[in-house]
Structure 1
Amino acid sequence: MMGVQRHGYRSELPAKVIGVTGSNGKTTTKDMIESILGTMYKVHKTKGNLNSQIGVPLTLLDMEPDTDVAVIEMGMSERGQIGRLSRLAQPDIAVITMIGVSHLSTLGSREAIAEAKLEIADGFREGGVLVYNGDERLLVEGASNRLPLLRTVRFGTDASHDLVPGEVGDDPGGTWFKLDNASYRIPLLGRHNVNNALAAIAAARLLGIPKKLIAAGLQVAKVTGMRMEVLHSSLGYTIINDAWNASPVSMKAAIETLEQLGGCGNKIMAAGDMLELGDRAAEFHREIGRMLNPERIQYVVTIGELGGEIAKEAAKVYPPGHVAAFRSREEAVRWIREIVKPSDAVLLKASRGMGLEKAADALM
């Protein structure tokens, strides 16, 4: 970080910078923004999720001088880190996707998480614009109190927001929605990804991208792996690898996506531990278990000690033999292989530390 600051590298570059943060969806949103802007501009973006105190400076130093726009993902593990990254990157536009409960173990409350994410405005260049999820009360209040003179763009479901989707639908190939008399399609499962797309559209509009190019860019967006990644096993069943990370919000979204999936046989939810949730970790896992419905998702298998809390709740309403809890990925994979049929769909979801992507490899 000091190298970037010492050499004033960012200040020397004419490129516009878009900073992206949020509890969930920041990497997907970053990828969508890059795909849209790439229809008109030379774009540099954070590779993978190199969004740390080390990754962001490296991303900035790797930017070529003729870059038009840089899309910089910013992550954190504690208060103050987003602010430091923002002052380093000096964004012209900042995006906050949403506020969840990840980092409760270190920050203590959703209010503190929202304050930490709002630090992304600390390094704004003159005329900076904050794009944020207007359905999140903590962001609305935080932006109003902390940044009353800042220009903002809000997206979400309330009619008062700047970007509000109309009709929304999905099919095996992705998700589509209407916005301001135009149709958009994203090659991703999950209606929760519409909000990520709205954030990307807002950023693109601020940089003058016309509707047709926005739609074209969204339709071909290539998202970093293990985020609703659809795979097809050699035995004919579908694997949805969403194992990059997990929080209660993203786990619920994954369950809803699997429930809405059409054209398949039985649906199998493989859920592992959600980490960094503090003292309420077990409670959050039990809430997930209570969401599961045997009429919409036929089988549930969990991995890890906390995942077992999901299984305990699900077992209260599922038929015998339709819920299983294991400590290891290997045991879970063996169980799935015993029940899965060629037309079925298996969704894998857990925090990154569980390494559930290895289960996807084993099931192929």
Structure 2
Amino acid sequence: MNKSVQQVADWLGIETQQWKDIRIKGVSINTRTLKPGELFIPFRGEHVNGHRFVRQAIELGAGASLWQRDEPDPPQGLPLLFVDDCEKALQQMARAYRQELKGTIVGITGSNGKTSTKDLVASVLAPYFKVEKTQGNLNNQLGLPLTILSLDEEVEFAILEMGMSAFGEIEFLSELARPDYAIITNIGEAHMQDLGSREGIARAKFEITAGLSRQGKLFYDGDEPLLQPYVENWTQAVSFGFGDDNELTITSVEATENGSEFSVSGVIDAAFTIPVLGRHQIKNALPAILLALDTGLEEEDIRRALKKATLTDMRMQPVRAENGTVFINDAYNAAPTSMKAALQFLGEIKMKPEKWVVLGDMLELGEQERAYHEELASQLPEGLRGVLLYGPRMKWLHDELKETFNGELMWSEEDLEPLIGKLESDLSPDSLVLVKGSRGMELERIIEPLTASK
């Protein structure tokens, strides 16, 4: 975004008597990260009112700032644009800027795997196109507009995450971004407490098609029966997954210390490698392959790009300790679906003979959270050397295991030190340790002291 104050005012439908020629280069909601020329957006939160920092933002180089009309005492002599509601103004600017962008917009949603899929799509396209993607978790009603307004005017592909916690939110984001491609990674259990059931989650995720262009394509998890009723009348829908009836099907998988090698059939019959572990991560690569093929990239182009893909940390990320132990850091998030996939992968991989799991609470599961934690007992792979559990909810799994599990079993409600000490004393060069929990548990704190250089 590189516009004059007058052009921004036109987007907002407001008059500005001064400052018309000042150039605005992007937007910011935080003076600590503000860059010269950006438009400052002063939100009013529960604890902080951004209007208090408007003068500071201008002093730090902001080109101009919004000011909400019902906020008293606007500072005099500063380039201000007066609006009724700063949040709605931000969304209105993003909507207008989106209409001017000529690049292709890719929208991604799903219960799990959004960020990994975003990274894989961006990685496969980046060597051949000008690509930008959602940074961090800027994927909600504030984050998505900020992401759109941060896009370069010459971007060729913008890969945008769309998150939600209630009905209607994905629909709003989709209609704002108007994607040319939409991807639904899967349907899990996250936000069950807000949406009531997995059927409700499927309906909410399918809202991503609300803004999909008439010529747009939908790539969706064909292994998920709950999506089938929604895609039956969708002519431009392409399925991917492990099932034989998908239009792109995974036919073989092999885990190595360098990542995952896999073969696919259907839309294309080929073999690929990604530098990350896990069957679910291979599945996340499938929409990247489908989209790349649709842009005209050749098989070898896709293979070369996927092999060098860069994923956000803490997603099935191998981390090697000095003593030879390998940790699989999957501590970014956890839900029953992704937990099951990670445990299944651990059971199949033959990288190391001695296997451990460190599991943290799964959050936001609603009334069924106890059942989901207890069910993990039946999903643990056979032959584990140890199971270490962290968080109050993992007490349910501990109680399920304490009479039947024959290996090392330990649970700690809120202190990581006993778990760290146990691993420090028992791990060896033959050990492989899966570490997984919801983001709020911050389980990477277990890995850090065990892999730090001494």
TM-score, scaled relative to structure 1 = 0.94
2:300 to 206, 212, 219: 212
Q: How big is the shift at 1:4? A: 4.1
Give the structure 1 partner of residue 325 of structure 2: 237
Please tell me whether residue 344 in structure 1 is matched to residue 344 in structure 2: no
1:168 to 236, 242, 253: 253
Q: How big is the shift at 1:262? A: 2.0
- Counterpart CA distance in 2 for 1:70 and 1:293 is 39
Q: Which moved more, 1:232-241 or 1:87-96?
A: 232-241
- Counterpart CA distance in 1 for 2:420 and 2:105 is 43
- Counterpart CA distance in 1 for 2:250 and 2:235 is 24
- Counterpart CA distance in 1 for 2:289 and 2:215 is 19
1:48-63 correspondence to structure 2 within 5 Å: 48-63=136-151
Contact 2:346-2:381 within 8 A present in 1 as well: no
Please tell me whether residue 251 in structure 1 is matched to residue 336 in structure 2: no
Q: Which moved more, 1:113-122 or 1:198-207?
A: 198-207
Q: How big is the shift at 1:293? A: 4.1
- Counterpart CA distance in 2 for 1:69 and 1:345 is 38
Please tell me whether residue 137 in structure 1 is matched to residue 228 in structure 2: no
> Structure 2 regions of 5+ residues with no counterpart?
1-86
1:190-201 correspondence to structure 2 within 5 Å: 190-201=278-289
Give the structure 1 partner of residue 412 of structure 2: 326
Contact 1:290-1:313 within 8 A present in 2 as well: no
Give the structure 2 partner of residue 85 of structure 1: 173
Paired letter, 1:5: Q
Counterpart of 2:153 in 1: which secondary structure?
A: coil
1:214-293 correspondence to structure 2 within 5 Å: 214-293=302-381
Task: Describe the superposition over 1:276-308 as per-residue Cα deviations: whole angstroms up to 9, x where unpaired.
Answer: 11111011111102222441x221000011112
Q: How big is the shift at 1:205? A: 1.8
For the aligned residues, what is the CA RMSD?
1.5
Counterpart of 2:434 in 1: which secondary structure?
A: strand
1:317–1:292: structure 2 CA closer, same or farther, 3 Å change rule?
A: farther
Paired letter, 2:395: G
Give the structure 1 partner of residue 243 of structure 2: 158
Q: How big is the shift at 1:357? A: 1.4
Give the structure 1 partner of residue 75 of structure 2: none
Task: Describe the superposition over 1:84-104 as per-residue Cα deviations: whole angstroms up to 9, x where unpaired.
Answer: 111111100000010011111
Contact 2:187-2:201 within 8 A present in 1 as well: yes
Counterpart of 1:223 in 2: which secondary structure?
A: coil
Contact 1:4-1:61 within 8 A present in 2 as well: no
Give the structure 1 partner of residue 68 of structure 2: none
Identity of aligned residues (%): 39
Q: How big is the shift at 1:202? A: 1.3
1:159–1:259: structure 2 CA closer, same or farther, 3 Å change rule?
A: closer
Paired letter, 1:161: N
Structure with the greater alpha carbon radius of gyration: 2
1:260–1:160: structure 2 CA closer, same or farther, 3 Å change rule?
A: closer
Task: Describe the superposition over 1:251-276 as per-residue Cα deviations: whole angstroms up to 9, x where unpaired.
Answer: 11111222223232421100010011
- Counterpart CA distance in 1 for 2:382 and 2:299 is 42
Q: How big is the shift at 1:194? A: 1.9
Contact 1:258-1:347 within 8 A present in 2 as well: yes
Contact 1:269-1:348 within 8 A present in 2 as well: yes
Paired letter, 1:203: L
- Counterpart CA distance in 2 for 1:245 and 1:28 is 12
Q: How big is the shift at 1:317? A: 2.6
- Counterpart CA distance in 2 for 1:6 and 1:42 is 23
> Structure 1 regions of 5+ residues with no counterpart?
none
Give the structure 2 partner of residue 305 of structure 1: 392
Q: Which moved more, 1:255-264 or 1:95-104?
A: 255-264
Paired letter, 2:260: T
Contact 2:344-2:381 within 8 A present in 1 as well: no
Q: How big is the shift at 1:24? A: 0.8
Task: Describe the superposition over 1:109-158 as per-residue Cα deviations: whole angstroms up to 9, x where unpaired.
Answer: 001100110010111123111110111111111222xxx24411111233
Contact 1:272-1:349 within 8 A present in 2 as well: yes
Task: Describe the superposition over 1:42-69 as per-residue Cα deviations: whole angstroms up to 9, x where unpaired.
Answer: 0010112322222211111110011101
Q: Which moved more, 1:272-281 or 1:175-184?
A: 175-184
1:168–1:254: structure 2 CA closer, same or farther, 3 Å change rule?
A: same
The higher-RCO structure (CA 8 Å, 6+ apart) is 1
Paired letter, 1:346: V
Task: Describe the superposition over 1:13-72 as per-residue Cα deviations: whole angstroms up to 9, x where unpaired.
Answer: 001000011111111111000011112110010112322222211111110011101000
Q: How big is the shift at 1:82? A: 0.8
- Counterpart CA distance in 2 for 1:219 and 1:354 is 31
Give the structure 2 partner of residue 314 of structure 1: 401
TM-score, scaled relative to structure 2 = 0.76
Q: How big is the shift at 1:166? A: 2.0
- Counterpart CA distance in 2 for 1:157 and 1:4 is 38
Corresponding residue pairs, total: 359
Q: Which moved more, 1:331-340 or 1:51-60?
A: 331-340
Please tell me whether residue 25 in structure 1 is matched to residue 116 in structure 2: no
Give the structure 1 partner of residue 263 of structure 2: 178
Contact 2:131-2:156 within 8 A present in 1 as well: yes
Paired letter, 1:104: M
Contact 1:42-1:67 within 8 A present in 2 as well: yes
